[in-house]
Amino acid sequence: MAVSEENGTVAGQQKTRPRLISGPGMLLVWLYGVMVVGAVSRSIVQIATEFDHAPLAYSLSAIAGVVYGFITYSLVRGGETARRAALVCCAAELAGVLIVGTWTLVEPSAFPDATVWSDYGMGYLFIPVLLPVTAMFWLRRARGAAGAES
């Protein structure tokens, strides 16, 4: 418990938290960070300037931004609790992408303008649908690396 053995990573805090951003985790943080900036800034601009045009779409973009922000923070913070919280959020994110993606295809009239999750995130190179799957694999693996606590 004192030292996380794998990769030789030693979290240098007073209490050792298993790091979630070593190796591929760093790439995930970058991609999630991009999605945070993209979703949050987009929804702020759209809600501030033309909210009445497509209230549902812009609100969903804002929610997506908040979820991305929380996952990014959890990854950077590290630790078992953060890992679990991030895992739950990734599942919620995946569900969101799938539900909203299907919704935009079935009933386009509800969405006069696109959201981050429209058409399964096609406008963002499908990153919104690929990212949670990758992150969930990574977070499950990170549990093994953290040793036999929990």
Partner 1 sequence: MLDALTVATSVAALALAAWCGFAAYRDQPTKDWHFIGMAVVSLLALVQLIVGIVQLVRGEKPEQGTTIFVGYLLGALACIPAVGFMSLAERTRWGSVTVAAGGVVLAVLEVRLYDIWGG
Site for partner 1 in 17-36 (CB under 8 A): 21-27, 29-31, 33-34
Q: Which of 125, 144, 148, 149 binds partner 1 (CB under 8 A)?
A: 125
Alpha-carbon span 130 to 93, nearest angstrom: 11
Q: Does 99 contact partner 1 by CB under 8 A?
A: no
Let me know: does 4 contact 147? Beta carbons within 8 Å. yes
**Considering beta carbons, is residue 60 or 75 the nearer one to partner 1?**
75
**In the chain, what is the greatest distance between 2 CA atoms, to the nearest angstrom?**
56
Query: How many CB atoms are closer than 10 A to CB 124?
Result: 20
Q: Does 133 contact partner 1 by CB under 8 A?
A: no
Q: Does 147 contact partner 1 by CB under 8 A?
A: no
Q: Does 145 contact partner 1 by CB under 8 A?
A: no
Size of the site for partner 1 (CB under 8 A): 17
Amino acid identity of 150?
S
Helices (H), 1-150: 24-50, 55-77, 80-106, 127-145
Q: CA-based angle 138:100:46, to the nearest 5?
A: 100
Q: Does 130 contact partner 1 by CB under 8 A?
A: no
Binding site residues, partner 1, CB under 8 A: 21-27, 29-31, 33-34, 37, 41, 45, 49, 125
